[in-house]
Structure 1
């Protein structure tokens, strides 16, 4: 009873399988019915399995022989189904293996018998036949695949077919080695420029990939990578012996693209990273150091000659290998520091501060463009560039002075090389150099002096340009850095209002005599000047006294000191043959020239005694009026470039100029002399003392107790935006604060300081 029910249930299952196999879908409503037991016992023919298998075996043979068009796949499916149903699954499975093996053996013999280029063609043809046959066989044996194989832990039909193909065809000694060798030979031919059948290669390698990762790797990929490594090892060695760096990089780049292209055409996509790694290692990583240091073509030569394309290529290729960018960056940094050091210590460059700074800016522009165009604006390269500039700019202690002189040159009215519209661009570049400076307070000292001279002489290119730079400095360093600079602008505006008031009050009293334009400067805002007053001409003394009386009358409690070394004057002069000119001179020069109204010739000693101008300034003053061609309103006897105390001066009656107004500048060193440099350094050091003390007090007030090393470290860090504080100077300031009872040492530990509230 139970057996009959099982048989009938299986029959219903068979009907369901037929629907699945032939793609039909039964949407009719299922009817409920009962299955009755067979009235008699069903007996299966003992030879049923063999008979049915013979039918299926014949069908499989016909499929392999390309005669499957007359076969009834529905009937074949039923036969295979019934064999499994009636417990002949093992007969069906072993028979399938035997039959497929027989056909595959015959195929392998055909493949082995082919010669030359037909080998792969035949292999591909047989693989295609086997694949088609395998799909048909799998459809016929679908029920076995779904029931018998899982329950008996057998290999599914499709996987079985691939396994048998591998065993009976691919791994035959006569085929396996030949296949590997043929594929590698074809790839080698393609690498050497010959044309190969990429479609056939794709089919064969796809076959190996379909047979499983292990087959693909062992039979092709591993030998392929080994052969590729040997190929590129030899080729890279040949290239590097005969090619320049740029040419070598082009070849390496082309080889990389070829291998990537090869993968896209016929290799497994998983092989791309592996073959690319082989090329990278053999052609780039193994020769990286030699490439960047190649004489006359390496990285340094590329940087010198602005070879943007080659630099971009070396950057992109070296990015592929470990430490590639580090190697490029190290060479670039080393070269930058070496050439930068040569620049800032070159005696010829140091003769002209403006040219010196312009060379720095040109160098910065050059490498900024290289990093932008060739190194993808890589931040690590930009940081290396900044650190290199910071290193060599600060090797020259006069860099702050020279940068200020450069700014002064660009901001002076009438200066060559930059228009007012380009001033902002120049400022942005100068601010970059300013950021590199360790001693920003030294720059401030010089900048204040140069700004003062521009403002007092009215030689600034524009008020807006001056204020723009001050604003940039304020943004960079804070209000304290620029507060005195802004005070200088305020004084100039206030002085204009003062002079308007003076002339409105005393205008009628002055008559036709000389006129006076005074700029009243606040002592704390302007650069400290040693107040050495010279003897002014009598024509000016009464006018100066009137202004003093007027000013002190409207401002009580103030004191005026004349800074004659900072003034200018316009003089009308008559020379021989009726030549008349208006001379624009300094106050010192005016005092000297006015002496010649009462004398034809005067000795140096007499001039010095009459004017009381400091000796160094007087020599410069006389040099500018007697030794400069085109400006020589005086003659000197004996004639020489240097001013001696025995020299005699007289008016040059033969002086001529095509201009009515003639400006006679003072011969001054564009940069400070050694004594002036020492004096400026002393003033800077004096200005630093209160800043260091203020930083110490701020830190100790917050921390209360701190040891010596930490206070040195924190003070240096806090003052770093303005200057690099010397540890010995910090120590002196600590001692000074202890003496004045701001701090005290701990009784038990002398390296520990306490803040005294």
Structure 2
């Protein structure tokens, strides 16, 4: 099959002149004008739209409708301007007629008529646009005129929407309907949606200028008046409910029949008028404001306040600042109330309860807001450190919870207690004081020989090490090491002596490393001869095994088990302190002794002796001694004797020493002095570290760096830092710079 030859086509101009009817343009326009009138008069069925909507793109092969072809020919023969101007004139005439019909409608039907006419107009525009499609594509594009459909919208805007008799009436009617809806009436939301959509279709500027701006102004006025009315008759919780409801209503209104871009604007109006303008008055409202919500744990109201106030500038800051102020004042009253000092455990428990309360509020009501959590932490740090005895009391709380009350307590509960203790510990600025007190309490329980939860204590030490570093807990860990070493030492001692059970008194010695334990200078208490002989044997064994060491007996820290026989042959086993043992064994040889005679015989310090005698004679159920005269106070001439009438249903009886749960003022001063002495070498070491790194630096820089380094343990006093600098200068570790006396130089 042979290939077909390609044919080349060439379009040539007419070889003869084509003459048009001089009245062609006028006649053609009359036909098109009639078509537009018929469309607006709803007689479009007679316009043969089957042809009218022919595809104009394929005009070379398809039949054009008469009217579309007429419009096409007018543009083709350079009469586009006449066609366009005629369109404007005709559409304007019809819109003025429509305007008059809308204006004539009275009452509630006004918007219905406006909506109906708008629908008709948009349909007419679509038909007209199709007839004039060629003009849209060519003439309007080249002459930069407004397209047909957009032209129809603009003419509707100018002749209808912004008509002097329609514009205000339309706006007022819409605003009146919205007001009715706000006051509880039901309105036609579908109609409202059509009207506002019409305004949006006419252009964002029309919607904003003709509706949105007046709507926002009226809304501001409405909510300003309503909020003032609410603030005068409602409590804070009720007001917040109303504000929340209004806010939700406006957001729903936007979703139903307003432009989505209106939502942030109208919600801003509600937030400003109902929240921002009254938030200070709300949070301080008497008997129902923020403080009352916090005190009464009103979570629902607190959640609502947080959610509403976070929408306005400075709203959350206002809540946070007032919460901080209230918390600091409450905490200050708690930690400075002398009545609270009587029970340190209760003192700390109240702090923990307060912390738990606000942790729950922040989690449940304030969305775990970090800024609120930071405010809570800073508040606790502020008022806990107002009481210089807080470290001591927290240590006593640990002693009570981890040493005394572990019976029947699960590991999970112990862990919770530890975490709470660590939480308070972090707030302490003088953590080294806590360490000193806790070391004393831990020492007491380790030396008591009782089986308590080592795991709980070791767990606390791990947490302290994580928080403050190895150096902070090295001495506490050393105490546990000494207890294990002492067990091995005692096994070696008894093996070397060949002791058997029942042969005289039994001695158990804990050898404590100086520096790790809170050992205090102990008076040379006169031990009974039976005990003194065993002690001498142990001294000889230990010093023979470990050369170069010294042993000092800490009789104030020991305990003893005594077998006692009372009248009528009643036998008991008494667990007592070493001091109490020395006192009781005096009565093996005498019947009556005065307090002064006991002091001379035992050499026990006066204050310790009185406490021991109170424990032995004044505690009901454990009064193995009789005191004359009978009273809680101990005087030098009081007489003591064995209580022959002592009875107890228990065979083993523990007689503790009456001690103050917290330190007395002299003891407190002594502890403080010891802490200050312990701090001196730490401050000096920090100064040396800073100077080694910088070689030459000023006083302020030294203070800042030393404070930063020591802050995990305590806050050093700048005055003390200056004194330690002077001391290091005297010892030739540092020197002042000759050129600038404010600078210090490190001497390598």
- The TM-score bracket by the shorter chain reads over 0.9
User: Aligned residue for 1:14?
Assistant: none
* Cα drift, residue 415 of structure 1: 5.2
Query: 1:62-95, CA deviations, whole angstroms, 9 ceiling, x for partnerless residues?
Result: 1112221232313221111111111221221121
* Cα drift, residue 144 of structure 1: 1.0
User: Aligned residue for 1:690?
Assistant: 681
Does 1:636 find its partner at 2:636? no
* Cα drift, residue 185 of structure 1: 0.5
Residues 262-341 of structure 1: pairs in structure 2 closer than 5 A:
262-341=253-332
Residues 206-245 of structure 1: pairs in structure 2 closer than 5 A:
206-245=197-236
User: Aligned residue for 1:713?
Assistant: 704
For the 8 Å contact 2:236–2:282, the answer to whether it is kept is: yes
User: Aligned residue for 1:90?
Assistant: 81
Distance 1:125 1:459 in 2: 95
Q: TM-score, normalised by structure 2?
A: 0.95
For the 8 Å contact 1:245–1:292, the answer to whether it is kept is: yes
* Cα drift, residue 413 of structure 1: 4.3
Alignment match of 1:571 (pick from 562, 565, 572)? 562
Distance 1:175 1:460 in 2: 94
Q: What SS class does the counterpart of residue 515 from structure 2 fall into?
A: coil
* Cα drift, residue 30 of structure 1: 10
Runs of 4+ displaced beyond 6 Å: none
* Cα drift, residue 654 of structure 1: 2.0
Residues 76-87 of structure 1: pairs in structure 2 closer than 5 A:
76-87=67-78
* Cα drift, residue 216 of structure 1: 0.9
Distance 2:6 2:221 in 1: 70
Q: What SS class does the counterpart of residue 70 from structure 2 fall into?
A: helix
* Cα drift, residue 540 of structure 1: 1.2
Alignment match of 1:199 (pick from 159, 169, 190)? 190
Alignment match of 2:21 (pick from 26, 45, 51)? 45
Distance 1:86 1:747 in 2: 103
For the 8 Å contact 1:564–1:587, the answer to whether it is kept is: yes
Change (3 A) 1:726 1:508: closer
Alignment match of 1:104 (pick from 91, 95, 101)? 95
Alignment match of 1:256 (pick from 222, 239, 247)? 247
For the 8 Å contact 2:406–2:453, the answer to whether it is kept is: no
Does 1:749 find its partner at 2:740? yes
For the 8 Å contact 2:683–2:724, the answer to whether it is kept is: yes
Change (3 A) 1:236 1:51: same
Alignment match of 1:69 (pick from 39, 45, 55)? 45
Q: Which moved more, 1:527-536 or 1:571-580?
A: 571-580
Q: Which moved more, 1:395-404 or 1:648-657?
A: 648-657
Change (3 A) 1:45 1:114: same
Change (3 A) 1:30 1:576: farther
Does 1:123 find its partner at 2:99? no
Distance 1:565 1:187 in 2: 86
Q: TM-score, normalised by structure 1?
A: 0.94
Does 1:552 find its partner at 2:543? yes
Change (3 A) 1:31 1:406: farther
For the 8 Å contact 1:584–1:662, the answer to whether it is kept is: yes
* Cα drift, residue 524 of structure 1: 2.1
Change (3 A) 1:481 1:256: same
In structure 2, list runs of 5 or more residues that go unmatched.
53-64
Q: Which moved more, 1:511-520 or 1:674-683?
A: 511-520
User: Aligned residue for 2:731?
Assistant: 740
Change (3 A) 1:597 1:317: same
Distance 2:82 2:652 in 1: 124
Q: Which moved more, 1:595-604 or 1:229-238?
A: 595-604
Q: Which moved more, 1:534-543 or 1:381-390?
A: 534-543
Q: Which moved more, 1:61-70 or 1:168-177?
A: 61-70
Distance 1:576 1:103 in 2: 129
User: Aligned residue for 2:580?
Assistant: 589
* RMSD of aligned residue pairs (Cα, Å): 1.6
Change (3 A) 1:318 1:41: same
* Cα drift, residue 510 of structure 1: 7.0
Distance 1:119 1:530 in 2: 103
Change (3 A) 1:77 1:667: same
Distance 2:568 2:33 in 1: 135
Q: What SS class does the counterpart of residue 706 from structure 1 fall into?
A: strand
Distance 1:511 1:173 in 2: 121
Distance 1:31 1:81 in 2: 30
Q: What SS class does the counterpart of residue 46 from structure 1 fall into?
A: coil
User: Aligned residue for 2:590?
Assistant: 599
Does 1:58 find its partner at 2:21? no
Alignment match of 1:465 (pick from 434, 449, 456)? 456
Query: 1:202-228, CA deviations, whole angstroms, 9 ceiling, x for partnerless residues?
Result: 000100111112211111111100000
Does 1:133 find its partner at 2:124? yes
In structure 1, list runs of 5 or more residues that go unmatched.
1-28
Distance 1:656 1:30 in 2: 136
Does 1:344 find its partner at 2:320? no
Query: 1:264-299, CA deviations, whole angstroms, 9 ceiling, x for partnerless residues?
Result: 110011111100100000000000111111111111
Alignment match of 1:448 (pick from 439, 442, 447)? 439
User: Aligned residue for 2:599?
Assistant: 608
User: Aligned residue for 1:625?
Assistant: 616
User: Aligned residue for 2:693?
Assistant: 702
For the 8 Å contact 2:519–2:554, the answer to whether it is kept is: no
User: Aligned residue for 1:15?
Assistant: none
Distance 2:651 2:106 in 1: 104
Alignment match of 1:378 (pick from 355, 369, 392)? 369
Q: What SS class does the counterpart of residue 174 from structure 1 fall into?
A: coil
